[in-house]
Structure 1
Amino acid sequence: MSQPGERAPAASLGLLDATMVGIGAMIGAGIFVLTGLATELAGPAAIVAFALNGGVTTFTALSYAELAAAIPRNGGGYAYVREVFSAPVAFVMGWTRWFTYMIAGALYALGFSSNFVEFVHLYGVTLPGPPVAYALLAVVVLVALNALSTEASGGAETAITLVKIAILGLFVVLGLPVARGAEFDPLFPNGALAVLPAMGLTFIAFQGYDLIATVTEEVENPTVNIPRAILLSVVVTVVVYLFVVFVAIGTLGPERLAAAGETAVAQAAEGFMPSLPVLGTGAAIIAFGAVFSTISALNAVVIGSSRVAFAMGRERQLPAVLGRLHHRYGTPFVGVLASAAVMLVAVLVVPIGTVGKLASLFSLLGFTIVNVAVFRLRRQQPDLRRPFQVPFYPVTPALGIVCNLLLGLFIDAETWALAVGWLVLGGVVYLLLARSGRTDEGRPEPTAAAEATVADPEPIDLDADVDEETA
């Protein structure tokens, strides 16, 4: 919560902007590069893997929606865990979510650079310098945008995401008339159990709706719009994925799609998409879509990671400077820069493949804790106003817990060992802050019942100091 004399975030994002943050983060390069790889594992049943992952992620999305409506504060899962668990548990949640978003940013930046280089190469242009240079440039540009204006970064996210949805929509509209249902017979050529590893591979493509909750205080009427944005982003993403996978398999066939690997969707597009002015062939159009997908996903995690740092700094679980807004721009300026620094280092030196799996593991564990938080908050504060409630409680969050833990079992032992190492490092940071007296130890726990039941605040003037606590 804001401390006396500190500024509060301004509500400058609408429902569309908030929804696009989630869609932009979820529809990244995953649907372009994972469709062929999933088909290699499960055959035509890859579409079943995508559908089941959509169901699994919906359980947790509903939990996020309830918690966001009841606890309208920036920080997402960290803010909710901070409300119902002890300070050390909340720190672990925030520490891992911050890490996950920052590493995802490195992954998206590298994905953008490779897709961008490939896209311009289709037109006979060879860019100077190594591809990593363009990854670094993308991070720097988006960090500058986010540091200077939340409204501008949110508007950019909306525009970029609408473009890539339009490109995938074109792929679906042109491909559906020529897709062959016979390509799905038999549906399980590799056995029904082959769907499970395909689910583990593609689950990362369903992460991102949680980023919406990290900007809660910057969204107009958050108790209504945040749950709507979370659920809308999941529904739109799942529908888009299922149509894209159906068209890809139905037009290229499962064997050829599997052989195409990471370029499967582009190769499928070559078979039925006409050449367009400026953009060119179907493969070029899909490459163009992949460029937009990765850049929007990168922008979304820059937004989300900085807000987790801001929330933890405001709660004194990281240095307090991270929890302050810039006096002129009204953005979590230091939080944006700190998150960007880690992204830039990760782009240069981190083994991205391994850390990508680590980010997936931390997401699964974080989603598990968020579902547990729904149970604890209902028990601890039964009279708390909940504008949105999880349907079929307690079955829905229980299924979220079980499914996330089961998917975590498909993560290899090396990744689990690295996760423990990062947690140990976090423990050291927490103890050092505690010894210096800079943590929130000894401060009263935040009270959601007192904060979340007040009316949503009026839009905040960025040029005025706000001395009151945020809703």
Structure 2
Amino acid sequence: MSSHDQRTPEAELTLLDATMIGMGAMIGAGIFVLTGLAAEISGPAALLVFLLNGVVTAFTGLSYAELASAIPKSGGGYAFVREIFDDFGSFIMGWMLWFAYMIAGALYALGFAPNFLELLHVYGVVAPPDQVGAVVIPLLGIGVPAKFVLAFVAVAGLVALNAASTAASGSAETAFTIIKVSILVVFVAFGFFSAGGGGETSFTFQNFDPLFPESAGAFSILPAMGLTFIAFEGYDLITTVTEEVENPRENIPKAIFLSLGATVLVYLLVVTVAIGTLGAEELAAAGEAGIAAAATSFMPTGVPLIQNGGALIVFGAVFSTITALNAVVIASSRVAFSMGREGQLLPSIGRIHYRFGTPFVAVLLSAVVMLGSVVLPTQSAGNMSSLFFLLSFIVVNVAVIRLRRKRPNMNRPYEIPYYPVPPILGIVLNSVLAVVLIGFLVQTDLLALLLSAGWLVVGGVMYVALNRYRARGDDADSTAEQPTVDEPTEE
């Protein structure tokens, strides 16, 4: 092996960068498109849906924090499971996580396209998104929908940034995340200021009474939690770049808690304002445009550059989707890199580029699969991603318990308080959500379950094929190293 292959990632990301990676992924398109879905299923109790999802997520966040402080390796949940479980178990964990991140990336790329077109439409550059025609590819003469072209451009641009420099991609994530959080803070501030304003739409807590409408009931929050759980997937991305963060044993746990706490707070404030101004029924009717509809109803118009509240939210949605996309480009490539380094994918995937100092091949491979995933039905892809994340979080909580038992004296700069209660609660609650989600998908989206099972089958085949490939390589090496027997010489 050359010296180039033995390079390790350089620690170029600060605590702020790591925190913004988590927030950039969690405060993504979910806050804009899932709020209406939660309101449609559970009414005003959508506020509880996001609160309880934050609580469920926090238990697993504690497990990630302890494991990251004890095992400061890139790769996230895969790196932890690799230390504790057998070869096949760790491979399946990595295989699930890798695909879940790439599917999420495809969703964010497709979410970026209509928001970007809507932003251009607001300023009169293009027609409404549903009226934008196909883009003809030069030389080929083939018309491709504009959303696919924009999704490709977004992925290609971020892949180029990530392949060239980890520090640059981290800095971009930090800047874009600060911008979009600032936009949401402005939305929340105007929403609360509208209380008692007497206008056509103003904030009132009466929209939360009753919290559980008769048509939905208290138990409606469970399927809503399962379907919106992907909104809280993101803090785990921080652990995929552990080796690229300064002082990871201390900074990774801090970044997890900071990103989770800030995200839950932002979500609760935004959902409170959206329901408090529009009401759950109108928010549900607006669907993916619910937050924009709320902003348009109470924010001032005629503001220079911004024009109206809806335009501001569209602007925020563009930044949200692009930062979430950048975060999963980072995460998916690091999982693939870690698997390649451990010998569970091709060795070239687990190497650091001699010039750029990035997992170059892993970034490119992840981008190819990510772009291929855009052809999947959007809803099915989102459901697959949520299911895989729930399953992986269950395994991570099991992993922290097993590591405590197998290596009780291991150096753990951060330890879970009240152990083993949090990881056990994490296992139980994530399992409940996974079962509820599977039951919901059996009735509404069987394709997502079939595609999920198909990906796992492909993973099993890949695992067997790679083992045989490695075995042949080992046999060839052992044969080459066999000592030769000297022929007797005549005297």
TM-score normalised by structure 2 residue count: 0.87
1:340-379 equivalences under 5 Å are 340-347=367-374, 349-379=375-405
- Counterparts of 2:399 and 2:64 in 1: how far apart (Å)? 10
Q: Does 1:332 align with 2:359?
A: yes
Q: Distance in 1 between matches of 2:473 and 2:329?
A: 25
In 1, the alpha carbon distance for the partners of 2:467 and 2:474 equals 7
Tell me the residue number matched to 2:456.
423
Task: Quote the residue 2:114 is aligned against.
Answer: 114
Distance 2:471 2:27 in 1: 39
Per-residue CA distance 1:273-328 (angstroms, 9 max, x = gap): 12321121100000000000000000000000000011001000000101100001
Matched, 1:209 2:235: yes
Q: How many residues align?
A: 440
Q: Distance in 2 between matches of 1:440 and 1:12?
A: 35
Q: For residues 280 and 372 of structure 1, do their structure 2 counterparts lie closer, same or farther at Cα, with a shift above 3 Å needed?
A: same
| 2:294 maps to 1:268 | yes
Q: Give the AA of the match of 2:85.
A: F
- Kept in 2, the 8 Å contact 1:68–1:227? The answer is yes
Q: Deviations over 1:100-158 (max 9, x none)?
A: 11111100000000111112112222167322100100000000000000000000000
1:45 aligns with 2:45: yes
Partner of 1:131: 147
CA contact (8 A) 2:190 2:298 kept: yes
Q: Are 2:211 and 1:187 aligned?
A: yes
Q: Give the equivalent residue in structure 2 for 1:7.
A: 7
Residue of structure 2 in register with 1:100 after alignment = 100
Indicate conservation of the 8 Å contact 1:434/1:441, yes or no.
no
Find the aligned partners of 1:351 and 1:92 in 2 and give their Cα distance: 24
Cα distance in 2 between the residues matched to 1:105 and 1:5 = 28
Corresponding residue of 1:36: 36
In structure 2, the CA distance between the partners of 1:64 and 1:291, relative to structure 1 (3 Å rule), is: same
In structure 2, relative to structure 1, the CA distance for the partners of 1:72 and 1:135 (3 Å cut) is same
Mapping 1:382-421, distance limit 5 Å: 382-409=408-435, 410-411=437-438, 412-413=441-442, 414=446, 415-421=448-454
- 1:158-169 matches, within 5 Å, as 158-169=174-185
Secondary structure, counterpart of 2:470 in structure 1:
coil
Query: Superposition RMSD on alpha carbons, in Å?
Result: 1.7
Partner Cα distance (1:342, 1:137) in 2: 15
Give the whole-Å Cα distance in 2 for the aligned partners of 1:316 and 1:40.
46
Q: Please point out which of 259, 274, 279 is paired with 1:233.
A: 259
Q: After TM superposition, list the pairs within 5 Å mapping 1:139-154 onto structure 2.
A: 139-154=155-170
**Which of 299, 303, 316 pairs up with 1:289?**
316
Helix, strand or coil: the match of 1:75? coil
**What's 2:488 paired with?**
none
String of CA shifts for 1:318-363, please: whole Å, max 9, x gaps. 001011000010000000000001011112x322321221111110
The residue aligned with 1:20 is: 20
Q: 116-125 vs 226-235, which deviates more?
A: 116-125
Per the alignment, in what secondary structure is the counterpart of residue 278 of structure 1? coil
Does the 8 A contact of 2:34 with 2:288 survive in 1? yes
| Pair 1:301 & 2:328 matched | yes
Return the letter of the residue paired with 2:89.
V
Q: Distance in 1 between matches of 2:192 and 2:98?
A: 40
Note if contact 1:371-1:397 (Cα within 8 Å) is conserved in structure 2.
Answer: yes
CA distance 1:70–1:267, change in 2 (3 Å): same
Q: Tell me, in whole angstroms, the C-alpha distance in 2 between the residues paired with 1:29 and 1:293.
A: 6
> Which amino acid is the alignment partner of residue 310 of structure 1?
F
Contact conserved, 1:65 with 1:230, CA < 8 A, in 2? yes
Shift of 1:204: 1.0
Q: Does the aligned pair in 2 maintain the 1:317–1:440 contact within 8 Å? A: no
> What is the CA distance between 1:439 and its match in structure 2?
10
- The 1:419/1:440 distance shift into structure 2, 3 A limit, reads farther
Contact 2:227 2:383 survives alignment (8 Å): no
Structure 2 counterpart SS, 1:437: helix
For structure 1, the 5+ residue unaligned runs are 443-471
- Asked whether the 8 Å contact 2:5–2:351 carries over to 1, the reply is no
Moved more, 33-42 or 49-58: 33-42
Partner of 2:129: none
Q: Distance in 1 between matches of 2:88 and 2:221?
A: 37
Alpha carbons of structure 1 residues 212 and 19: separation in structure 2 relative to 1, 3 Å: same
| CA deviation after TM superposition for structure 1 residue 417, in Å | 3.2
Instruction: Assess if the C-alpha contact under 8 Å between 2:4 and 2:352 holds in 1.
Output: no
**Partner of residue 89, structure 1:** 89
Taking the aligned partners of 1:44 and 1:75, their CA distance within structure 2 comes to: 38
Q: Which amino acid aligns with 2:147?
A: P
Q: Distance in 2 between matches of 1:90 and 1:214?
A: 15
Following superposition, the deviation at residue 5 of structure 1 comes to: 5.8
Q: Is the 8 A contact 1:313 1:320 kept in 2?
A: yes
What secondary structure does 1:214 align onto?
helix
Query: Following the alignment from structure 2 to structure 1, what is the Cα–Cα distance between the partners of residues 157 and 396?
Result: 32
Q: Distance in 2 between matches of 1:439 and 1:108?
A: 40
For the 8 Å contact 2:227–2:386, the answer to whether it is kept is no
| Larger radius of gyration between Structure 1 and Structure 2 | 2
Query: Cα deviation per residue 1:229-257 (whole Å; 9 max; x = unaligned)?
Result: 01111100000000000011111122222
Q: Aligned partners of 1:103, 1:141: CA distance in 2, in Å? A: 18
SS at match of 2:304: coil
How far, CA to CA, are the matches of 1:212 and 1:441 in structure 2?
35
Query: Does the 8 Å contact 1:224/1:387 carry over to 2?
Result: yes
Query: Structure 1 residues 300 and 441 mapped into 2: Cα distance closer, same or farther (>3 Å)?
Result: farther
| 1:58 positional shift | 0.5
Q: Is the 8 A contact 2:340 2:350 kept in 1?
A: yes
Q: Note closer, same or farther for the CA distance 1:24–1:321 as it changes in structure 2 (3 Å cut).
A: same
Structure 2: which amino acid aligns with 1:387?
P
Identity %: 61
Matched residue type, 2:341: R
How far apart are the structure 2 equivalents of 1:40 and 1:313? 43
| Code of the aligned partner of 2:373 | A
> Does the CA-based 8 Å contact 1:69-1:227 persist in structure 2?
yes
Say if 1:161 and 1:296, in contact at 8 Å, map to a contact too.
yes
For the 8 Å contact 2:159–2:364, the answer to whether it is kept is yes
DSSP-derived class of the 1:388 partner: coil
Contact 2:36 2:283 in 1 (8 A): yes
What displacement does 1:3 show?
A: 9.2
Q: Which amino acid aligns with 1:418?
A: L
SS of the aligned residue for 1:215 comes to helix
